[in-house]
Structure formats: structure tokens, C-alpha cells
């Protein structure tokens, strides 16, 4: 009976599950998007990294600014070897730019780059060095007319080792005859500027850049950036180079110097000429005009040991320097 009554009794209310109040979780910070330059600076600021930035070629200006009245041309050649008499030019790159009388660089106003097929196969070591293959030069000829448009109006032609490039250029075309040349290796004191070497790759790397090396036009643009680089209040490398190009130098030939003095001359920086290039067969050196008297005193007292010795001398300007 009790069980039947239980069937009609009220069922107990269902248990209520306690719900904890929802707790707001902290939002994760969104990652900050950094530009490539911001990331580079962050690495540099840590002082644990040095970052090299890709060197970007300057654009060619649509017009010339009148305050930059002079024209310079940075020139680079690739050749089949080291001898300008027997080897040939296979690539020429040139970048023309404006500058003023104070050596301040303006704008790029012209660019030329061209390949040329040599009369003999390119040596394998040259291909390894330059990346220029037989297939690349096949049927190629350097456009002299295009090159002339850059070279003829130039006040100064600059090469990174003009003693190599100028003889090849003089043989290649008369367009280079009568031009003033400057050498960005020998006429700039790179060590005083904090650089550990004079090779273009060293200069570019220490300046914080990298570039596609050993292609003529790329090397020209790279050199332009280094020449125009200026730190603090110091003059730019190009200002130093332009000033040096205006100075006359003197080449002294220690002709008929005693044979047993050759090591002394070599240690002082003299170089040997075998006479095949029209120079006297002798040891020779180039000095600034201001150093001429001191160098003659050295030769007369230490080498010839004769006060009346009168070695041949040749005065040189930028129009004469770096010829073969």
C-alpha cells in the first residue's frame, strides 16, 4: 500500500549544479610586425651581430642639376688576363655621375655595360673569377658609340686600380686617350678611414653592404657608394681622390744604381722596369712633388753615394698617370 501511495507523491526537485562565474582569460599580445630594416637595427643594437645590407644601384637622374657641373665616370674592365699587350677586354662597365668643384657628388647621369667576344677562348680561371662564360660573350661586341657618350665629356675617369684598367682601355679605344684618370686604390688613404684592406669587396663589407661582385657595372655602382660615403665631419673618399688627382707627381728612375743596392730600393717602394715599355731600364718610384728633394737626397747619399748624381725624373699629372 505504501508503495502505491509513493507513486503519487511529489518527486524531489532536481539537483542544481552550481556554475562558477566565467573568468576572462588575458589576451595574448599580438606579434609586432617588424620591417626588414627594423629587424636589422634590432640585431645591430644588441651588439651581437653585424648586418650587411644589399647595395642598391642609384637611379639615373632625368636631368642634371646645374650646381654639379663636372662629370666623373667610374669604369671597370674584365679581361682575359693581366697583360694589356696580349690579353683582351671582355667586359666594360661605366657609371657617369656629376660632381662639383668641392668634390661633392650629385647624380648618376648614365650607365653602360657591355660584353665582347675575344679572339681566343676565355681561360677557365677567368671564368671562375668573373663568372663570364663563352656562351655569354658569343657574338657580343662592346658598343663604342654608347661608351663614347659617357667618356668624352668626362672630367675624370676613375678605376679601382687604374694601373690595370687604363692600359687596357688605351689599347681598346682612342676614346680614352687624353683623359684624366684617378685611382681609388692608390690615391685614397683607406687605412686612415678605418678600412683593413683596399680590395673593393673589403671596402663594401666593412661599410656594411654586399653586392654582386666581379660584374663590371655592379662594381662601378659599389665603388660610387663607397666614394660618396661620409662619416662625421670628415671629407668623403671622393673628395680626397679628386684633390689627389689635381696634384702633380714625379716619377724618379734610379738609373745605373749599383746592383747591390737593389734590395734597399725595393724596400723603399721602388719597382723594376725592364725597359720594354719605353721607360729607362731601372728601379723607379713615384712621389709627390713636395717629396722630390727628399727622395733625391736619399738616392744621392744612400744609393749612388755621389752628390752630383742626377737620376732621370718625369713630372706626371692625372692625364699621364697610370699609363702603361
Q: Is the pLDDT of residue 238 over 90?
A: yes
Same domain, 199 and 120: yes
Between 93 and 27, where is the model more confident? 93
Same domain, 97 and 242: yes
Domain tally, the chain: 2
Domain boundary among 187, 215, 246: 246
Look up the domain containing 194 and give its range. 70-246
Q: What is the mean predicted confidence (pLDDT) over 275-294?
A: 90
In-domain check, residue 4: no
Q: Which of 26-40, 67-81, 278-292 has the lowest mean pLDDT?
A: 26-40
Domain boundary among 246, 271, 286: 246
**pLDDT confidence band for 324 (50 / 70 / 90):** confident
Domain boundary among 217, 246, 275: 246
pLDDT in tens, 239-275: 999 999 999 999 999 999 999 999 999 999 999 999 8
Same domain, 75 and 161: yes
Separation CA 133–CA 121 (nearest Å): 9
Same domain, 172 and 201: yes
**pLDDT confidence band for 212 (50 / 70 / 90):** confident
In-domain check, residue 13: no
Picking from 245, 207, 243, the residue whose alpha carbon sits closest to that of residue 104 is: 243
Same domain, 194 and 214: yes
Between 198 and 275, where is the model more confident? 198
Same domain, 235 and 258: no
Same domain, 241 and 253: no
Quote the pLDDT of residue 38.
84
Same domain, 272 and 171: no
Same domain, 236 and 288: no
Q: Is the pLDDT of residue 196 over 80?
A: yes
- Sign of the dihedral defined by the CA atoms of residues 204, 209, 210, 215, in that order: negative
Beta strands in 160-234 (DSSP E): 181-183, 209-210
Between 99 and 35, where is the model more confident? 99
Q: Is the pLDDT of residue 22 over 60?
A: yes
- CATH number of the domain at 225, please: 3.30.420.10
Tell me the β-bridge partners of 94: 75, 112
In-domain check, residue 56: no
**pLDDT confidence band for 299 (50 / 70 / 90):** very high
Quote the pLDDT of residue 153.
97
Q: Which of 208-212, 309-313, 315-319 has the lowest mean pLDDT?
A: 208-212
Q: Which residues contact 318 (CB under 8 A, 6 or more apart)?
A: 156, 180, 181, 182, 245, 246
Has this prediction a pTM greater than 0.75?
Answer: yes
**pLDDT confidence band for 20 (50 / 70 / 90):** low
**pLDDT confidence band for 32 (50 / 70 / 90):** confident
225's enclosing H/E stretch is: helix 216-228
Same domain, 192 and 163: yes
Q: Is the pLDDT of residue 170 over 90?
A: yes
Same domain, 137 and 157: yes
Same domain, 207 and 157: yes
CB 264 within 8 A of CB 303: yes
Separation CA 33–CA 56 (nearest Å): 24
pLDDT in tens, 54-100: 899 999 999 999 999 999 999 999 999 999 999 999 999 999 999 99
Q: What is the mean predicted confidence (pLDDT) over 222-249?
A: 93
Quote the pLDDT of residue 16.
56
Amino acid at each position: 500500500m505504501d508503495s502505491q501511495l509513493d507513486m503519487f507523491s511529489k518527486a524531489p526537485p532536481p539537483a542544481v549544479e552550481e556554475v562558477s562565474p566565467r573568468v576572462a582569460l588575458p589576451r595574448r599580445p599580438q606579434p609586432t610586425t617588424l620591417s626588414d630594416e627594423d629587424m636589422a637595427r634590432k640585431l645591430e643594437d644588441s651588439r651581437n651581430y653585424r648586418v650587411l645590407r644589399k647595395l642598391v644601384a642609384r637611379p639615373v637622374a632625368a636631368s642634371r642639376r646645374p650646381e654639379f657641373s663636372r662629370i666623373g665616370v667610374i669604369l671597370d674592365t674584365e679581361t682575359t688576363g693581366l697583360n694589356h699587350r696580349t690579353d683582351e677586354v671582355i667586359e666594360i662597365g661605366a657609371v657617369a655621375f656629376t660632381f662639383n668643384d668641392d668634390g661633392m657628388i650629385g647624380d648618376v647621369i648614365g650607365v653602360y655595360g657591355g660584353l665582347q667576344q675575344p679572339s681566343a677562348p676565355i681561360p677557365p680561371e677567368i671564368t671562375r673569377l668573373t663568372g663570364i662564360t663563352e656562351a655569354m660573350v658569343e657574338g657580343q661586341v662592346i658598343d663604342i658609340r654608347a661608351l663614347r657618350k659617357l667618356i668624352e665629356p668626362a672630367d675624370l675617369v676613375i678605376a679601382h686600380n687604374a694601373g690595370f684598367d687604363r692600359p687596357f682601355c688605351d689599347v681598346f679605344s682612342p676614346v680614352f686617350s687624353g683623359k684624366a684618370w684617378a685611382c681609388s686604390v692608390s690615391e685614397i688613404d683607406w687605412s686612415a678611414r678605418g678600412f683593413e684592406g683596399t680590395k673593393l669587396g673589403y671596402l663594401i663589407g666593412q661599410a656594411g653592404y654586399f653586392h654582386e661582385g666581379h660584374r663590371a657595372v655592379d662594381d662601378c655602382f659599389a665603388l660610387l657608394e663607397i666614394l660618396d660615403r661620409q662619416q662625421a665631419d670628415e671629407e668623403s673618399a671622393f673628395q680626397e681622390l679628386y684633390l689627389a688627382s689635381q696634384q702633380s707627381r714625379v716619377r724618379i728612375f734610379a738609373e745605373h744604381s749599383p746592383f747591390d743596392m737593389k734590395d734597399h730600393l725595393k724596400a723603399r717602394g721602388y719597382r723594376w722596369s725592364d725597359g720594354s715599355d719605353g721607360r729607362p731600364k731601372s728601379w723607379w718610384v713615384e712621389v709627390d712633388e713636395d717629396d722630390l728633394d727628399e727622395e733625391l737626397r736619399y738616392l744621392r747619399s744612400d744609393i749612388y753615394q755621389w752628390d752630383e748624381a742626377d737620376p732621370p725624373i718625369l713630372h706626371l699629372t692625372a692625364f699621364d698617370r697610370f699609363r702603361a
